[in-house]
Structure 1
Amino acid sequence: MLGVFGVIKNISLLGFIIRTFIVGIIAFLVGRYILKRTLNQLTAYDFVLVWILGALTVAPLLDGEISFTYIIVPLLTLFFWHYIFSLISLKNRKLSLFFNGKPIILIDDGKIIRKNLKKHFINVDLLMSELRLKNIFDISEVKYVILETNGHFSIVKKEPNRPVTPTDFNLFAKPVNLPLVIINDGKLFEESLVKSGVDKDWLMNNLAMYNIDDIKNIYLATIDSSKKLYVAKKD
């Protein structure tokens, strides 16, 4: 095992394979236990952290003379400091703005803030591209554009250009509930049947409408709060 974990000038093929396997496990643990906020927001600090963690993780594969001991210590240290910084940012807003930055207004009440565009090297073409991604092709429809700390653009349309909602007409909107998966790859989830208030007999009677008499022939089946079925057969 010393020919795998230690400093090796001429690593064997078997040693390289074992190292690759171990690096895969470390990469899984890094992705599994890194804070979900990091992957979701990916601020500048988070981006640098993820980049460093990736470089450290694969280092033993790039150079046989790099011991796993050399990467475990900095990996654990970075995890520790990232957790501490995230905890401090949660408790202190000023430090949170320091570590994560703050949103930048690019369009304010329909007016383009040119100095903010220049500050972040955003030209008009890139701005228009981001607007088109939000199905906005006329900049006159926009009231606010905000560059978030994770690099995404938040866009608010002017009042006449916003989509109409049930609230605008004082209408009651029917609640939306997530459908339950009752069959996945031919396997029945009876607990989902119980939650949806139906039984297996009800299910089989409704599946007969799809000319299905065996659950094993179903790839996916879901049921919503109104007891509406979605059924996808296996090929």
Structure 2
Amino acid sequence: MDFIINTFILLSSGIILLRLFGRRSIGQMTIGEGIIMISIGSLLVSPIGNESVLNTVIIAVIYIVVIMVLQRLQVKSISFTKLLTGTSVVIVDEGKIVKNNLKKLRLTETLLEMLLRQQGVTKLSDVKTATLEPNGRVGYELYDDAKPVTFRDIKPILQALNLNTTKTPNENENIFTEIKRNK
């Protein structure tokens, strides 16, 4: 029966500690943060049948405090951020793959193309610059001719045609209504 109570204590502690950690997804974590989060998961599961629940909670708290200290240092120091997380690396320049940088990153051209396709890029020649960001995501800038049209681009045309461009959406259609209500 004690293991049920221990399970709830560890689960509650884990939820509270991870809530304090913040809203980052796994993809947004640095390598160090990812390792610590995996360690916390392993830590929280291991003592459920044992007597060391308090020790486990204390270790998890230490891990979260370390993460929070590292995040504070990153906010305060650009050089510390570069040391801990690295910097963006150019992987496409002027529509051409920078093969030396791909090799350094151990990234294949096929994987790069897949990552770009997932973001809606259909032609490598449309990409002015692409970088592999420290969080593992690909950031890119398209050439002007390949950029999607925005409302800002179309608004002068609509105004020239005397179409109403100031219409507000129905409140039921606005996805930010809940956020505005909770302020």
Scaled by the length of structure 1, what TM-score is found?
0.63
1:21 maps to which residue?
Answer: 8
User: Are 2:52 and 1:55 aligned?
Assistant: no
Q: How does 1:141-156 map to 2 (within 5 A)?
A: 141-156=126-141
- Report the number of matched residues: 168
2:162 maps to which residue?
Answer: none
Residue of structure 2 aligned with 1:81, choices 63, 66, 70 = 66
> Could you tell me how far 1:66 is from its partner in structure 2?
5.4
Alpha-carbon distance in structure 2 between the residues aligned to 1:96 and 1:80: 17
Alpha-carbon distance in structure 2 between the residues aligned to 1:24 and 1:75: 11
Q: Could you give the per-residue CA deviations for residues 30-79 of structure 1, whole angstroms, max 9, x where no partner exists?
A: 22111335767212122112111111111213xx3450132122222222
Which residue identity is paired with 1:72? V
Q: How does 1:27-106 map to 2 (within 5 A)?
A: 27-37=14-24, 41-61=28-48, 64-65=49-50, 67-106=52-91
- Taking only aligned residues, the RMSD between alpha carbons, in angstroms, comes to 2.6
Structure with bigger helix share is: 2
3-state SS of 2:149 partner: coil
Q: How does 1:1-235 map to 2 (within 5 A)?
A: 14-37=1-24, 41-61=28-48, 64-65=49-50, 67-168=52-153, 171=156, 174=166, 178-180=175-177
3-state SS of 2:139 partner: strand
Tell me whether 45-54 or 32-41 shows the greater mean CA deviation.
32-41
Alpha-carbon distance in structure 1 between the residues aligned to 2:154 and 2:11: 55
Which residue identity is paired with 1:26? S
3-state SS of 1:36 partner: coil
Alpha-carbon distance in structure 2 between the residues aligned to 1:139 and 1:152: 17
Alpha-carbon distance in structure 2 between the residues aligned to 1:179 and 1:91: 32
> Could you tell me how far 1:178 is from its partner in structure 2?
4.5
Alpha-carbon distance in structure 2 between the residues aligned to 1:169 and 1:123: 38
3-state SS of 1:150 partner: coil
Contact 2:93 2:128 in 1 (8 A): yes
3-state SS of 2:5 partner: helix
Q: Percent identity?
A: 25
Alpha-carbon distance in structure 2 between the residues aligned to 1:170 and 1:42: 39
Alpha-carbon distance in structure 2 between the residues aligned to 1:73 and 1:28: 14
Which residue identity is paired with 1:180? T
Alpha-carbon distance in structure 2 between the residues aligned to 1:179 and 1:92: 34
Alpha-carbon distance in structure 1 between the residues aligned to 2:95 and 2:102: 14
> Could you tell me how far 1:122 is from its partner in structure 2?
1.0
Unaligned runs of 5+ in 1: 1-13, 182-190, 193-235
Structure with bigger strand share is: 1
Contact 1:103 1:149 in 2 (8 A): yes
